[in-house]
Amino acid sequence: MPKRKLPLAPLSDFIRYLASTKDNGHSVLPPLTVLSQELGVSVAGVREQLEVARALGWVEVKPRTGIRRLSYSFYPTVRHSLSYAIKLDEDYFKKFSDLRNHLEAAYWLEAVSLLTIEDKEKLRALLSQANEKLERDPVQIPHQEHRKLHLSIYQRLNNTFVTGIFESYWDLYEALGLDVYADHEYLKHIWKYHEQMVDAICSENYQAGFEALIEHKDLLYQRPRPLSSQKFE
């Protein structure tokens, strides 16, 4: 007996319209009154469905430009789900972090083999900026360099689902206050691993870089976590 196919989640009239219509050279959609007539849905109903699409990052609504279709991105969907998850239980961060770590490991070889010479120079520059901050008095936390370094390594992957998870991870990391952790020895330790990763990427010794990536992942769980001080919405 053939297996039954599970149906996809039902789409609202507006989202079905959005998915089925071609862009044909411009991304501006008709006003609500026109959409209401075309879809056979009240203006209030279309507005409600439009808000869902806006929250998911599929459309942009501005007073002067009207309703504009956006390129598909998985990032807003993940971010909204995570916002709800950590309000339920901040321990969801560890589970999501574990998912992200496995994905970074799984995509490492593909990602680093796609990097250009210019990409590698940018990794070097981020490493230099981070080390310069760590040598200041008082020490500055190179969090933006940390975020940019990891995202830059995977920037050439043409996969919105993977990059959406990676970007959302860093938003969640910041929302939980992990970007303000100021233990100098920990920071120096983590950036030694980053230096090994960048050196390996630039010399195309990808296995050595992979090993440094795996080893430094465990460091996050060896430090106390500060209380969350930011909103994640």
- Position 34 scores a pLDDT of 94
Find out if CATH 2.40.50.140 is the number for domain 13-69. no
DSSP 8-class letter at 220: G
Cite the residue boundaries of each domain of the chain with CATH code 1.20.120.530.
Answer: 90-222
**CA nearest 197: which of 97, 132, 130, 140?**
130
- Position 137 scores a pLDDT of 80
With tokens 């075309």, the residue in question is 38
Beta bridge partners of 60: 68
With contact defined as beta carbons under 8 Å apart, do 126 and 149 qualify? yes
- Position 229 scores a pLDDT of 46
HSE (CB half, 13 Å, CA atoms) of 86? 27
Distance CA 124, CA 113 (A): 16
> What tokens were used for 147?
């975020």
For residues 40, 41, 47, 50, the Cα torsion angle rounded to the nearest 10 degrees is -60
Distance CA 27, CA 232 (A): 29
pTM of the full predicted structure?
Answer: 0.85
> What tokens were used for 44?
């209030």
* Whole-Å CA distances, 10 to 7, 13, 14, 124: 8, 9, 12, 47
- Position 182 scores a pLDDT of 65
HSE (CB half, 13 Å, CA atoms) of 107? 24
> What tokens were used for 188?
């120096």
Q: Which CATH class is domain 90-222?
A: mainly alpha
How far is C-alpha 66 from the chain's CA centre? 27
- Position 101 scores a pLDDT of 95
Q: How many residues does the chain have?
A: 233
pLDDT mean by block of 10 residues, the chain; 233 residues: 60 88 72 92 93 92 88 93 93 94 97 98 96 88 95 96 96 87 80 96 96 83 52 52
- Position 186 scores a pLDDT of 82
- Position 227 scores a pLDDT of 46
Cite the residue boundaries of each domain of the chain with CATH code 1.10.10.10.
Answer: 13-69
- Position 4 scores a pLDDT of 57
- Position 220 scores a pLDDT of 62
